[in-house]
Amino acid sequence: MLENSSILQFIVVSYLAGSALSFVPRHGKLSSVLIFVPSMTAAVFEIILSLGVLFGNPLKITITNSSFDLFGFDILVDNISAFFILVIGLVSFAVAMYSIGYAKEYHKKKTSFGFLFNTFLLSMFLVVIANNVFSFLVFWEIMSLTSFFLVIFDHEKSENLKAGLLYLTMTHFGTAFIFGSFLLSSVQTGSFSFDSFRHLENSNSLIKNASFVFALIGFGTKAGMVPFHNWLPKAHPVAPSNVSALMSAVMLKVAIYGLIRITFDFNTVTQEYVWWGVLITLIGAASSVIGVLYAVLENDIKKALAFSSIENIGIIFVGIGLAMVFNAYNLASLAGLALTASMFHVLNHAIFKSLLFMGSGSILFSTKTKNMEFLGGLAKKMPYTSVLFLIGSLSIAGLPPFNGFVSEWLTLQAIMMSSQIPDVLLKVLLGIVILPVALTAGVAAVTAVKIFGISFLSRPRSDSASNAFEVPRTMIAGMTLLALFAISLGVLPLIGINLISLAFDIQAPQRGPFDPISIQNTSGESFANLSILSIIMLLGIVAIGTYLFIRILGKNPQRKIYETWDCGFGKLDQKTQYTAASLSQPIRTIFKFLYKPTLTVNREPHSQSNKFVKKSSSVESKTIDVFELWFYLPATSFCIKFFEKIRRMQTGKVNAYLLYIMIALMLLLIFARFGS
């Protein structure tokens, strides 16, 4: 049997082989096989490594530089790393299989695509096993740069370049704060090793608070939390769809991994720092509701899914924040419940969101459009894709018996259990969080109905939809694998819950996969119970009963055929169907304070009379991202004005630069004298 260290080497070698083989001159399907089969092989080894660590022993490898402790590679695969490696392995295997067929779209540029694809996957794997500041930041930067080049892969389009530059700016903005957090921690420990960061209990509270805030901003920016989310709905839609699946399903979770390390591994949250958990919970609630409210408006499938990622990251944040608050008050069982809910949603979101992004990629592959207004009727043209996309839609809507339902149900139970906190004010504050989370769940269901219904049902709205075709088998296979995971974790959720209990050392009984889930309060009394099998049986009875009821009452019916009332149009066609915009119009009206909608009606008067208009008149409705209006535009304007003044210091005169150097040296000497 292979040792964990050997498996780790196989993973790295497989990804490097995939990157190198992308430069081998081949054509057609063989080229895709050479690029993506090594990725699939590495993913299998990642799953093996993850399970080996979870059910065995952690792996630690240190490559140090004796002359300077900063520059060295320290690798640790513990249970936390193993869980996130499992997420990376499951998703990357399915996406790599899908990419064999999908990469036909990039046949002329397949060399660079294969290199970036494999390097991106390798960098995410290395980030979650890095055990010191230097190796973490190096791998983090590789992950950021390769994802940037993948975002702008179709660089001929100006919108892709703009989205890529925004992403690059925001990711380095976040990296600066992450480095600041690590730097503050190293000041306290005198070391850049993560092992030393695990002993910060007696550190200065001011520095500890600052380190947490920096980490929250840094990792939160990469994860897409509000208000640092603006890059996500711009970058994800323009990237290749298989890359969008990896960015949303895996890369955002790597940022969650960093936050977990800071909050649960490097620090112990006491009542002095309980505001950390409250802040994360409130930010999560805001992110979830804002993300879904913008997702429901979008007509672009990939952009709607990108906003939905913000929503789901918010739900994950809520669970993390509640776990921190419960830990602060020594409510270990409730902290375990909240953390289990959060990490289970990490796994579930990775599965159904990658499935949906690959489904949107299949639509784009077949129809050359991702605008819902030009789709419709795809269920008949793409039957396999439609069924798989439906499974993803039901999962993201949080309906049983699919995986999204279980983690969202656990999160709601954790919020309600905040009533066990002894602090009354905190109890009320956290209890209110259930309102935006419940609203999020409802609007998420509307969003899922809109995306699937408008895209796959009714009649085709364009020639592209009419001429759609089913995608290659490798693409179907990749999506099928994730759909099976979505169903399996929904029907047998205790498989995932038990893995999470192992990974995060949560004191929960190891139960059988068919046992019901039981939530207990601090007194040991049963607070809530959930039996997925009972739900499935109930749904089955209802379905069978409905069928029999219709068959019995509908036997030998008297049939009368009438023409469908067409509201005076004289003909029903694709133009009289519900559109994506009309389906979300009620929500746009209710939340107009957030959207700031504007309506533009372009009327062209008839040549014979101004009282009549031509048939070519059009109506255009737009909404505004209030965060861009109130936050980013003022910040950008301030920075431009500030740096315009800074530029005046660049006089081009040597004596002025010598003066600047002298002033800097004096300040450093003063700091060294009085700072010590």
pLDDT, tens digit (0-9, with 9 covering 90-100), for 336-354: 999 999 999 999 999 999 9
Instruction: Give whichever of 25-34, 71-80, 231-240 has the largest mean pLDDT.
Output: 231-240
Q: Confidence band (pLDDT; 50, 70, 90) for 626?
A: confident
215 contacts 266 by C-beta, under 8 angstroms = no
**pLDDT score recorded for residue 606:** 62
| Domain map (residue ranges) of the chain | 1-204+223-248, 269-548, 594-624, 628-675
Is the CB of residue 302 less than 8 Å from the CB of residue 244? yes
Q: What is the mean pLDDT of the chain?
A: 85
Q: Give residue-wise pLDDT tens across range 83-127.
A: 999 999 999 999 999 999 888 766 555 568 889 999 999 999 999
pLDDT higher than threshold 60 for residue 68: no
- Structure tokens given for 409: 């149900």
Q: In what helix (H) or strand (E) does residue 33 lie, and over which residues does it extend?
A: helix 29-54
Residue range 632-649: mean pLDDT, rounded? 79
Is the pLDDT higher at 218 or at 59? 218
Tell which residue, 510, 397, 486, 495, has the closest CA to residue 444: 397
Poorest-confidence range of 36-45, 472-481, 487-496, 551-560? 551-560
- What's the pLDDT at 267? 82
Nearest-10 crossing angle of helices 110-127, 79-102: 170
Closest alpha carbon to 302 in 362, 352, 238: 238
pLDDT at 64 over 60: no
Is residue 414 within 8 A of residue 320, CB to CB? The reply is no
Residue 239: how many other CB atoms lie within 10 Å:
27
Residue 58 contacts residue 77 (beta carbons within 8 Å) = yes
Residue 1 has pLDDT above 70, yes or no: no
Cis peptide before 401 (omega within 30 of 0): yes
- Greater confidence (571 vs 189) lies with 189
Q: How far apart are the first and last CA of the chain?
A: 55
- Say whether pLDDT at 250 is over 90: yes
Query: What does the pLDDT look like over 360-391, one tens digit per residue?
Result: 999 999 999 888 888 888 999 999 999 999 99
Dist. CA 384–CA 364, nearest whole Å: 15
The one-letter amino acid at 647: R
Q: Which helix H or strand E contains 144, and what residues bound it?
A: helix 133-151
Distance CA 496, CA 397 (A): 19
Reported pTM: 0.90
pLDDT digits (tens, 9 = 90+) for 34-49: 889 999 999 999 999 9
What pLDDT is recorded for position 66? 43
pLDDT of 628 higher than 80: no
617 pLDDT exceeds 60? no
For 290-315, write each residue's pLDDT tens digit: 999 999 988 899 999 999 999 999 99
Map residue 615 onto helix, strand or coil.
coil
Check residue 67 and give its pLDDT: 44
CB burial of 37-48 (b: ≥16 within 10 Å; e: otherwise) equals bbbbbbbbbbbb
Quick one: pLDDT band at residue 273, thresholds 50, 70, 90? confident
Q: Residue 611: what pLDDT?
A: 61
Whose tokens are 């805030």? That residue is 213
Quickly state the pLDDT bin for 486 (edges 50, 70, 90). very high
Question: Could you tell me the two tokens for 456?
Answer: 């796959």
Question: SS3 helix, strand, coil % of the chain, rounded to 5?
Answer: 70, 5, 25
Backbone angles phi, psi at 543, to 5 degrees: -65, -45
Give the number of other Cβ atoms within 10 Å of residue 603's Cβ. Answer: 13
Residue 90: the pLDDT is 95
Nearest partner of 242 among 370, 99, 108, 122, judged by Cα: 99
Q: Is residue 354 within 8 Å of residue 249, measured between CB atoms?
A: yes
**Separation CA 291–CA 304 (nearest Å):** 9
HSE at residue 164, side-chain half, CA atoms within 13 A, is 20
Q: Cα separation of 357 and 572, whole Å?
A: 32
Contact 485, 72 (CB under 8 A): no
Q: Residue 108: is it exposed, middle or buried by C-beta count within 10 angstroms (0-12/13-18/19+)?
A: exposed
Per-residue confidence (pLDDT) for residue 512, from 0 to 100: 65
Place of tokens 């498996």: 7
One DSSP character per residue, 80-122 reads HHHHHHHHHHHHHHHHHHHHHHHGGGGGGGHHHHHHHHHHHHH
| 620 φ/ψ angles, rounded to the nearest 5 degrees | -130, 130
Closest listed residue to residue 39, CA positions, set 107, 131, 124: 124
Quick one: pLDDT at residue 540? 85
Kind and range of the H or E element at 182?
Answer: helix 158-189
Omega before 227 within 30 of 0, i.e. cis: yes
Cβ atoms of 614 and 604 within 8 Å: the answer is yes
Number of residues that this document lists for the chain:
676
Mean pLDDT of 4-20: 88
Q: Which range, 172-176, 464-468, 521-525, is most confident?
A: 172-176
Whether residue 484 has pLDDT greater than 90? yes
The pLDDT tens digits of the residues spanning 586-610 come to 888 888 777 777 766 666 666 566 6
Residue 178 has pLDDT above 60, yes or no: yes
**CB burial string 640-668: b at 16+ within 10 A, e below:** eeeeeeeeeeeeeeeeeeeeeeeeeeeee
pLDDT confidence of residue 514: 65
